[in-house]
A and B are shown apart, each in its own frame.
Chain A
Amino acid sequence: MGEALDQLFATRGAAPAETAIILPAEPYLDAAGEALRRRIFLTRGEGGENLCLRPDFTIPVCMRHIAEGADLPRRYSYRGQVFRQRADGPAEFVQAGIEDLGEDNRATADARTVADALASLETCGVSLDGLDVILGDQGLFEAVLRALGLPEGWQRRLIRTFGHDGQLRAALESLSKGPEHALEGIEAQLIELARDREEGALTRLIRGRMEEAGLPSHSGRSPGEIAARLIEKVAVAEARLGEGPLQLLQDFLAIDCPLDQAGERLGAVMGTAGLDLGRAMTAFETRNLALRAANVDLSRVTYRAAFGRPIDYYTGLVFEARERGAEDPLAGGGRYDRLMTILGADTPIPAVGFSLWLDRIAAVAK
């Protein structure tokens, strides 16, 4: 199975990237967040630095690319062991995949990523007939929020919960509540100043308090930043999410249909409110065309509007292939345009990739 995959990756123009098994842990904790700490095998080097056993390939492949400063666009492949602490299932397993870096034509890169993931599954002996392939797009969700004209504070809050159904529901619920709740605990004087948009006065007041508390002025949140957010918060609290936009958001998030019908469904939901998703919709349709061109049967892919990953470096496409009715993915991937700069690249680099869970695949393919 492994060698067949290596061959497939080579024919798809991806060259193997070597990565170490023992890696610095900081980039992981920094990029993916502290929640990862519980799930990785951490140790300390003699000098006190945090090290971990490779929990995935994406980050070391990207870091290596940045360190070598190789030309772009470029596709990297990998296959090897990864290590994660899990309540059930082995802590050590094998993954393979491709990272596609620097391709400016995002539709093309997205489409070949999905196509390559599906081809990989077939190469491993998994029939696509027995799979659920689910696709989501954070770009569309963000476009819906913009089109509804939601205040930026709300947009940020909802985007952060995207892909996490329970939290998204909770956020929507609290946004539809009145302002009394949202401004509880703020001194009346501050609310007045914020309402009058007295940014200068607020900033001075906050600076005074920071100095009194001995907070360092050179790092962390500045008085101006706090004042600006307070003004925004008061404005947002007094704006309140109306019935109409709330219903529309819910209708959008409920879309769950074959990908070849998604355009129509999106048009119907947004059309009732006379809203236009603009470039995000064009990007979505262009990607669908590219998927068709890459021989992906759109009627066998499910578009789920609420499907995403609540990690802040994911930016657009997200997809997973699971055995029908199963929870765990056999393959998964997505677009992570913000990761490369987080890891230290000088300029933003478009990036998309997928990985395969070879142990699960082997169990299914039998």
Chain B
Amino acid sequence: MTITLAIPSKGRLMEKSLEALKSAGVDVSAGETRSYRTQVEGFDGLEVLLLSASEIARELRDGTIDFGITGEDLIRETIPEPDRAAAVVARLGFGHADVVVAVPEAWVDVQSMADLGDVAGSFRARHGRRLRIATKYWRLTQGFFSRTHGIQSYRIVESLGATEGAPAAGSADIIVDITSTGSTLLANQLKILADGVILKSEACLVRSHARPHEPAEVAACDELAARFSR
């Protein structure tokens, strides 16, 4: 029997994940080479994989891994019903970033989502098209705009990178993006709306409930989870 845990495969997120595991008594050595294999000490039957952060969210959704460390933003964006298909075992205190709604600073009349709703509502009458939002978080955007704020009249422009440049490039009017210090937004003369924080995200240890487990696996998963809630 093995249970699997995936952690980010590079950078600070990987280092911090390794530290978090270590303080829970799980020692993972992730070879020097570009290998994605690891050696685990301190927890029998645990296999630790190195994957990209967004891949980890997908694998949790599909149940191909039992645990993963990744950003809550990716969990909520990737998994349709995140509270049913997975559970946050522990918030790990690193990788802090907010998913926010940001508009050009020059929109001096827009401070809140209510203002944005008003602008979006009359956008087509004025410009012959819907207000465009560049984002890679279409699920979070839609939930926040449509369900939380009742704003229906907008279009999402899917962005694969450099979302903050979309308004200047003319491919979108506003953006929904992740920011940790806000400096990128500032540099692009974008401002966050007062009530425009969609999610305060950080790295989380997440347990997948997407596939059924044998009793022995459940016991091992419970044990691993318990080490983090201590």
Contacts and interface: CB of A to CB of B under 8 A. Distances in A.
Interface of A: 29-30, 32-35, 37-38, 153, 156-157, 160-161, 164, 167, 171, 174, 184-187, 190, 206, 209-210, 212-216, 218-221, 223, 225-227, 229-230, 233, 310-312, 342
A157 B127 contact: no
Q: Which of A35, A153, A184, A221 has the most CB of B within 10 A?
A: A221
Contacts of B194: 184-185
B152 A30 contact: no
30 contacts: A32-B152, A33-B153, A33-B154, A34-B141, A34-B146, A34-B155, A34-B156, A153-B118, A156-B121, A160-B117, A160-B121, A160-B150, A161-B150, A171-B114, A184-B111, A186-B109, A187-B108, A206-B108, A209-B189, A213-B104, A213-B167, A213-B188, A214-B168, A215-B167, A218-B170, A220-B173, A221-B107, A221-B173, A226-B107, A233-B109
Interface in B81-116: 104-109, 111, 114-115
A29 B173 contact: no
Contact of B189 (A206, A213, A233): A213
A220 B170 contact: yes
Contacts of A171: 114
Interface string B143-184: 001110110111110000000000111100100000000000
B76 to A, nearest CB: 14
A38 B142 contact: yes
Nearest to A228: B109
Contacts of A32: 152
Given A213-B104, A312-B152, 8 more contacts: A35-B142, A37-B156, A185-B111, A215-B104, A216-B168, A226-B108, A227-B109, A233-B109
B87 to A, nearest CB: 20
Contacts of B16: none
B178 to A, nearest CB: 19
Contacts of B4: none
Nearest to B146: A35
